Amino acid sequence: MFLIYRIATIVFYPFFVLIICIRKIANKESGRSCTQKLFANSSKLPHEKKKIVWFHGASIGEIRSVIPIINHLINTNVDIKILLTSTTLSSGQIIGTEFSKNENVYHQYLPLDVPYLVNKFLDHWDPSIAIFIDSEIWPNFILNIKKKDIPLILINGRITKKTFKKWKLFNNFTKIIFSSFDLCFASSEDSYKNLKTLGVKNIKYFGNLKFITSLKKNSILEETSKNYFDKCKVWCAASTHKSEEIFCMEVHKKLKKTYDNTLTVIIPRHIHRIEEIFHQCIKLNLKTQIIKHGDVINEGIEVILINSFGVLDRYYSYCKSVFIGKSLKKELILVGGQNPLEAASAGCKIYHGPYVYNFQEIYQFLNKINITKQVNNTEELTKHIIQDFKTVKNINTNNVEKINAFGKDILNKTMKELIKLI
């Protein structure tokens, strides 16, 4: 089976090239991401000969979940460099924001899982350890890593019921892949069981690693934005997907009937859609402005669209109520949900639609301490936000300590095990 997979990746390489070129035309790839994915062109190696600890995560969520771990490693180990690989442009921008001034962190886009590219990448970087995040399982990479006797870790490993059934179709192949991991940290009890069944031998479960993102200190709004926010009743719709912005605009119009100074902050999951969302707002006669870092908000604006990555916490600090997207559409029943922990750690009350499967365990934890609430329509969300507007302080300030304590415990336990292999 592995031979068939290797041959298939080689045969289909021209199609992969075509797909990435189409994505480049659609502005979903950059010149740099194209060359690094298709040809394994790499950054220059560090001058100093130090251990390279390699982390790979697909997108923003995966990368964010390991930032506290990376910071901990850099601060406590002077003899290592960090290589961060990712897949999406947005993740590359987040890494740039977080580590642009850190000479110990390198970023590049992961090459395609094609034998020649895999070997070229591994020969160039020669990592001391490879750490894959979440559900990033690439057979050519995994088996070549093991051939080179590089320790391999799966961190925050996640296998859904749907993915589990697919892997079980190729049982022998699957056992070879999953037994290659020297250590695995599961993201949930269900994933723990699934990963063990698929062949992972050394597996631990301390809690979802995304809880440690709550330990990050919130950044501060620019003075000009702060002054405008102070005059308004502010709520935020974050990580929204197509059609959810319309839902939020309808909520905004309902809120305006009670609070004329309502300011709605929309932070879409994919900011390449920002112009499309802007035109939807204009059609509904909403005074709207697209905001980038440092922009001054014009007088009279009632909806602002955030056109920047990595700024959620900046706006959460001024919102009592946050709606988290990718949760309203029925077709999202098995893939719905975005991470609510940043909003929770800012003391916000969090609202979401019925479909949060991808973050089910986190939402269950937050629901127990009364931080999250499901809403099914605009009337429900409007009613809850009006109630939140009436309170003096942020709703969940007292619960932030519980979240942070849980996150610290997960981080400490994870680092204790991780450091043994580095």
**126-136 exposure pattern, b = at least 16 Cβ within 10 A, e = fewer:** ebbbbbbbbbb
Share of the chain above pLDDT 90, in %: 74
- The answer to whether the 2-215+409-418 and 223-401 domains have the same CATH topology is yes
What CATH number is given for 2-215+409-418 in this structure? Answer: 3.40.50.11720
Residue 44 zone, left/alpha/beta (φ > 0; ψ -120 to 50; rest):
beta
First to last CA, the chain: 32
Whether residue 224 has pLDDT greater than 70: no
Whether residue 268 has pLDDT greater than 90: yes
Paired tokens of 274: 């920002």
Digit-coded pLDDT (tens) for 26-69: 989 999 999 999 999 887 777 677 899 999 999 988 999 999 99
140/130 Cα distance (integer angstroms): 14
DSSP letter, residue 210: G
Q: How confident is the model at residue 350 (pLDDT cuts 50, 70, 90)?
A: very high
Report CA 402 to chain centroid distance, whole Å: 22
Q: How confident is the model at residue 215 (pLDDT cuts 50, 70, 90)?
A: low
DSSP letter, residue 97: H
Select 223-401's CATH number: 3.40.50.2000, 2.170.150.20, 2.60.120.560, 3.40.50.970. 3.40.50.2000
Digit-coded pLDDT (tens) for 84-101: 999 999 899 889 988 988
At 193 the pLDDT is: 97
At 219 the pLDDT is: 62
Whether residue 218 has pLDDT greater than 90: no
Digit-coded pLDDT (tens) for 370-405: 899 999 999 999 999 999 999 866 666 678 888 888
Paired tokens of 128: 């001391």
User: What is the arithmetic mean of pLDDT over 4-18?
Assistant: 96
* Domain boundaries, given as residue ranges, for the chain: 2-215+409-418, 223-401
Place of tokens 């406590």: 76
Q: Which residues contact 381 (CB under 8 A, 6 or more apart)?
A: 251, 323, 351, 375
Half-sphere exposure of 229 (CA within 13 A, CB side): 21
User: What is the arithmetic mean of pLDDT over 300-321?
Assistant: 90
Digit-coded pLDDT (tens) for 162-193: 899 999 999 999 999 999 999 999 999 999 99
311/94 Cα distance (integer angstroms): 10
Place of tokens 């709606």: 323
At 295 the pLDDT is: 86
